[in-house]
Amino acid sequence: MKGLVIAGHGSRSSAFRDVLELHKRRIEKLGLFAEVRIAFVEEGDPPLQKVIEDMKSESIFIVPLFISPGYHVSENIPEIVRKIEDKEIFICDPVGDDIFVSFAIINKIFQLIE
């Protein structure tokens, strides 16, 4: 069984959580993963470690919803993952430099001028 965790920084703003939940629902509809969860690394609930520990999936992919591989991506998330022993965990690169982010930037302009 494979699971996905969308890991965000976290924020006091509920809008941040809403965006992660939106991505979660979209991905769930694809049926690619037995579980799709969101988690927060810095601020907010649920924290990443608890989410991973609570998941039933044996293989878990963590996709950091970050713009670059800074402290949380290169140090904090791997540190959390090292504490989990009973699951196979894969940490993906952050989404920031993905070509689809470039298209999303252009798409925002098209949405504005339509």
Q: Are 27 and 5 in contact (CB under 8 A)?
A: no
Which residues participate in catalysis according to the annotation? Answer: 9
What are the counts of helices (DSSP H) followed by strands (DSSP E) for the chain?
5, 4
Residue 62: CB atoms within 10 A of its CB come to: 24
For the sheet with 2-8, list strands across it: 35-40, 2-8, 59-64, 88-91
- CATH code assigned at 93: 3.40.50.1400
Domain count, the chain: 1
Block mean pLDDT (10 aa), the chain, length 114 = 95 88 97 97 92 97 93 91 95 95 95 89
- List, in sequence order, the alpha helices (H) in 1-114: 14-30, 48-54, 71, 77-82, 99-113
Domain of 105 in residue numbering reads as 2-113
Q: What pLDDT digit, counting tens, does each position of 98-113 carry?
A: 999 999 999 999 999 9
Q: What pLDDT digit, counting tens, does each position of 33-49 carry?
A: 999 999 999 888 999 99
Q: Are 52 and 81 in contact (CB under 8 A)?
A: yes
